Amino acid sequence: MSTMTTDFTDTRGRRARQQIFRGLTLLALVLVVAPAAWILIGVVARAVPTWQWSVLWTPTSGAGGGLSQDIVGTLVLMFGVLLVAGTLGLLAGIYLSEMAAPTRSGRPGARLFRSATEVLSGVPSITLGFVAYVALVVGLHWGFSLLPAVLVLSVMVIPYIAKSTETALSKVPTGYREGAEALGMSPAYALRKIVIRSAIPGVVTGLLLALAIAGGETAPLLLTAGNTSSYPTGALLHQPIGYLTYPVWTFYNYPSEQAHHLAYDAALILVVLVMVLLVASRLIVARTQRHAEGGRA
């Protein structure tokens, strides 16, 4: 069958191809959804039989014990990323959407910054982790600690936040901005009170997804946060910090059963964390669509 012409009189052949197409697309969907379910079920099935709630509040000792310091560490890292990448990404998104003047040909402005952001989002996380290790952990003698870990995760995640902020801001109707100006509001006031406020759901969704990405990272953290069995002390430098992906990466092929259990438990906690963030962002999107003008419930 040539790709450029269809024999439109061949009705039975066309109908057959249509049915095959239908079947294939549904099969493709199954091929996408089934592994997701398989993975989740697998994680739960391996972790639940040997689950002990004490894992949540006991720190790791050797290859046994619990995971509490890793849980706290992951949450602390996420908070740090929220502070650093959240602020910077938000400001960058606002700048790119509202203030970068369009070029003379009408294309969006700040093209160098935009291209750099896109290229940065394509740089592998291991490369950023490597650079952070070489320059910050070893080069500046910061050692495995909180600050290089937060910095490298933030750099990874800022492109996502900037892009989602920019998208959210672009969805705010121009009428809002024009009305604000007509009422005599200064641009900064209008930005704060009207534009950003309307875009908050989209921005929050982007932040939650960025946190999910940061919490699930392993490679850059292996190279910047190190590992420890003590709780984070709040020290920015010279103090390693634990995180939930570490036991999964290291303990899964230790020879001890206890280590395996910890690996599966960490995987389960991670999955729960990520699911909470994803569900929260979905709920926010659904709520705004219900309240938006013309949105469907």
Partner 1 sequence: MALIGRDTGPVPVSPPGGATGRVSLPRRVADFGRSNATGIWRWTGWTAAAVPLAALTFTVVILLVKAWPSIRVNGGFFLTGSAWKPGNTYGATVHTHGVAHPLGSSYGAWPLIVGTLQTSAIAVVIALPVSLGAAFALTERLPSWLSRPLGFAVEILAGIPSVIIGLWGVLTLGPYLAQHVYPPIADHMPDVPVLRYFRNPVGHGEGLATSGIVLALMIIPIITATTRDLFVQVPRLPKEGATALGMTESEVARRVTIPWVRSGIIGATVLGLGRALGETIAVAMVSGAALNTIAPNIYGTMGTIAAAIVTQLDSAYTDGTGFAVSALAEAALVLAVITIAANVIARVIINRTSRNGAPVGRGV
Residues 185-214 that bind partner 1 (CB under 8 A): 186-189, 191, 209, 212-213
102 binds partner 1 (CB under 8 A): no
Q: What tokens appear for 30 in the block? A: 């199954």
Is residue 168 within 8 A of residue 281, CB to CB? The reply is: no
In the window 128-157, what residues touch partner 1 (CB under 8 A)? 128, 130-131, 133-135, 138, 155
176 binds partner 1 (CB under 8 A): no
Could you tell me the two tokens for 147? 């600050």
Which residues make Cβ contacts (< 8 Å) with residue 192, sequence separation at least 6?
A: none
Least Å distance, CB 158 to partner 1, is: 6
Q: Considering only residues 159, 201, 202, 206, which one is a binding residue for partner 1 as defined by CB under 8 A? A: 159
Handedness of CA 62, 64, 65, 68 (dihedral sign): positive
Establish if 252 lies at the interface with partner 1 (CB under 8 A).
yes
CB of 270 to partner 1, least distance (A): 6
Q: Rounded to whole angstroms, how far apart are CA atoms 83 and 90? A: 10
> What is the pattern of x (binds partner 1, CB under 8 A) and - over residues 28-47?
xx-xxx-xxxxxx-xx--x-
Q: Could you tell me the maximum CA-CA distance found in the chain, to the nearest angstrom?
A: 76
Closest approach of partner 1 to the CB of residue 21, in Å: 4
Closer to partner 1 by CB, 16 or 235: give it: 16
Cα–Cα nearest to 154, from 89, 233, 227, 218: 89
Contact 87, 157 (CB under 8 A): no
58 in Cβ contact with 66 (< 8 Å): yes
226 binds partner 1 (CB under 8 A): no
Quote the least distance from Cβ 200 to partner 1, whole Å: 17
Note whether 96 binds partner 1 by CB under 8 A. Answer: yes
How does DSSP classify residue 107? -
Closest approach of Cβ 117 to partner 1, in Å? 4
Is the CB of 27 or the CB of 235 nearer to partner 1? 27
